[in-house]
A and B are shown apart, each in its own frame.
Chain A
Amino acid sequence: DAGVIQSPRHEVTEMGQEVTLRCKPISGHDYLFWYRQTMMRGLELLIYFNNNVPIDDSGMPEDRFSAKMPNASFSTLKIQPSEPRDSAVYFCATSRVGGVGPQHFGDGTRLSIL
């Protein structure tokens, strides 16, 4: 069974550019979570979806961040415009039906904003 797939693995771009991170969840998992990890703040939940519907986006830092899940097989996290303080590793994680099970993580996107 394929795990959570994230792309790109690395992204380096200049401040002000739009950044789009992508996630393909594990088939059959109906919860999807976007996290950001930094040395200073650890792992932070940005937003999560249930059955493609955003449930809680209170962790999204600013209006520059947006996330979508157009279908059960795909989600995006977009930053526009990007700033150097957005540099971090962004993880997508998914969980089985009911959300009570453990979360399965992708290998993340390492984002550097110059």
Chain B
Amino acid sequence: QKEVEQDPGPLSVPEGAIVSLNCTYSNSAFQYFMWYRQYSRKGPELLMYTYSSGNKEDGRFTAQVDKSSKYISLFIRDSQPSDSATYLCAIRGDSNYQLIWGAGTKLIIKP
């Protein structure tokens, strides 16, 4: 079993829809949870960064962490064609500076 599981997609939705992207993880010691967005031929860029459990909102984006289920989610409201990209979850424990990466989900927003 991989430490972080993420469905690679692709996930195709119409413009304006609410998008839900998810990752599951196996190690309960993980504390830092991140979502990165990667456009084609570019490096990943940080979207959301949360510590421990709970929700965090930033504009149209909401990150949610459920430590009891070892499940993290990224919600995108009012999705736009410019949101079309690959979304990677990344997780880190307290004592290790390395990130464990999901495979990335390719998201396509149809106009």
Contact = CB atoms under 8 A, between A and B. Distances in A.
A103 interface: yes
Contacts of B45: 104-105
A45 B98 CA distance: 8
A31 interface: yes
A110 B42 CA distance: 10
B41 interface: yes
Contacts of B34: 102
B86 to A, nearest CB: 10
A56 B98 contact: yes
Contacts of A103: 46, 99
Interface string B72-111: 0000000000000000100000000111011110000000
Given A100-B32, A102-B34, A107-B41, A43 B101 contact: yes
A108 B98 CA distance: 19
A104 B98 CA distance: 13
A95 interface: yes
SS class, residues of chain A in contact with chain B: strand
B101 A104 contact: no
Identify which of A4, A31, A103 gathers the most chain B CB atoms within 10 Å of its CB. Answer: A103
Nearest to A45: B98
A34 interface: no
A72 to B, nearest CB: 17
A25 interface: no
Given A100-B32, A102-B49, A107 B97 contact: no
Nearest to B88: A43
Interface of A: 4, 31, 42-43, 45, 48, 50, 55-56, 91, 93, 95, 99-100, 102-108, 110
Interface of B: 32, 34, 41-46, 49, 88, 97-99, 101-104
